[in-house]
Amino acid sequence: MSRPDLYFALIHARQSFPNEWVGRFYRRLDEEVRSRATPLPGLRTGSIHYATEREAQAASGERGPDVRVLVPLYTREFLHDPPTDFAPYLNRRSDVTDLPFVHPVMWDVYIPPREVCGIAQAVSLGNAVREYRDCGMATICRHNAYSSELRQIVELLADRIVRAAEHPGHVPEWMLVASHPVGTPLPEARFFISVARPPGSDTEWTPFDPDRLSVIERAVQAARRLALLPEVIDAFDGPAADHETRDSAGILLLAPETLADATTRPIVEKLLKRLPQWTTVVVVAGRDQHLREPAARAMQLAGSSAQAARTAPEFARTVEEAIQRARRNFLRGHPS
């Protein structure tokens, strides 16, 4: 006997600890759905929400109850790096009557740089609530002044969930919304973090002992603090990565060892001589005296786009400055 379906699942699970506003939103939505639900054979009134990513991962190995509607909370992080189990739903284009339906909520105001499932439907929740379109659902949940707007959106979403769950053979009207309303924010460009690591090192490249975080992770965190979407790429990957970076802002994290090594030296020299227009360079020099000459060579080849970092605090400051400069130059000079 198959397990009974549930009405919906709320998908967030981007943190290692529960988000109280997500939890409150879920409980309120669950109450509204239950108040509207009609007992039907094979459809059990209820829902699922995993409060943390760890809980979601622990449950992924076990087949849980099926649900009729997925309600993902779209954030920058979610759309850029979705949970593995949800990733296939982002690219849904056809067979919209296949269960489960997907009805996202714009948790913040970010619109992704690529077309993904449900953006128009998510935005349509706030057609009559400008605060939702301008600020996102997280802001509305946090401020008591938006209590009536919160109730209005939750009630509309609950209506849609119940209608879709109880009539799975009919395409809900919110699945047919095709266009974005006027005033939708423009998409944010990707921000590339190209990495030329020392030969033989891995992604945990940590030249500043006793620093526990790799320089790559520190650069990623710095980009996220500036509300950017970092994508880490290997500087030695070849033409494909090089072609993409020429129309995006980014930084290059460069190890001087790559200029001291006979195998990687010609690649790095060529890379530095033809840097993408909006890429700045951080030479991760460290204090090794043997690397002074290749570090100076890297600074010479990169010119004014380069800065050097010899300690962990200096790297933290330098990488943030380099990211800001690359992004500023991109916004000033990009033809779009």
Compute how many other C-beta atoms are within 10 angstroms of the C-beta atom of residue 129: 19
pLDDT at 284: 92
H/E stretch holding 9: strand 5-11
Query: pLDDT (tens digit, 9 = 90+) per residue, 73-97?
Result: 988 778 877 777 777 788 776 555 5
Query: pLDDT (tens digit, 9 = 90+) per residue, 52-65?
Result: 767 776 766 555 56
The chain-wide mean pLDDT, for the chain, equals: 80
Query: pLDDT (tens digit, 9 = 90+) per residue, 185-208?
Result: 444 557 889 999 888 887 788 888
More confident residue, 243 or 128: 128
pLDDT at 4: 67
- What is the pLDDT averaged over residues 246-256? 83
- Predicted confidence (pLDDT) at residue 218 exceeds the cutoff of 60: yes
Type of residue numbered 130: R
Q: Is the dihedral of CA 23, 27, 28, 33 positive or negative?
A: positive
Query: pLDDT (tens digit, 9 = 90+) per residue, 272-305?
Result: 888 877 889 999 987 778 888 988 999 998 888 8
What dihedral do alpha carbons 296, 301, 303, 309 form, nearest 10°? -40
pLDDT at 159: 94
Q: Is the dihedral of CA 204, 210, 211, 216 positive or negative?
A: negative
pLDDT at 180: 42
Query: pLDDT (tens digit, 9 = 90+) per residue, 106-141?
Result: 998 766 656 778 888 888 898 888 888 878 898 899
pLDDT at 246: 52
Query: pLDDT (tens digit, 9 = 90+) per residue, 29-42?
Result: 999 999 999 888 88
Going through 38-138 in order, the beta strands assigned E by DSSP cover 43-49, 67-74, 101-102, 105-106
Residues 6+ apart with CB under 8 A from 123: 106, 133, 180, 181, 184
Place of tokens 């992604």: 203
What dihedral do alpha carbons 39, 41, 42, 48 form, nearest 10°? 0
Place of tokens 């099926």: 66
Range from 49-58, 147-156, 204-213 that averages highest in pLDDT? 147-156
Separation CA 28–CA 154 (nearest Å): 7
Least confident of 98-102, 176-180, 181-185: 181-185
pLDDT at 18: 72
Type of residue numbered 234: D
Query: pLDDT (tens digit, 9 = 90+) per residue, 5-31?
Result: 899 889 886 666 678 889 999 999 999
pLDDT at 88: 79
Exposed, middle or buried by CB within 10 Å (0-12, 13-18, 19+), for 132?
buried
Indicate the SS3 state at residue 251.
Answer: strand
Separation CA 51–CA 59 (nearest Å): 12
Tell me the sheet residues that pair with 230. Answer: 191
Are 310 and 285 in contact by the 8 Å Cβ rule? The answer is yes
Are 141 and 24 in contact by the 8 Å Cβ rule? The answer is yes
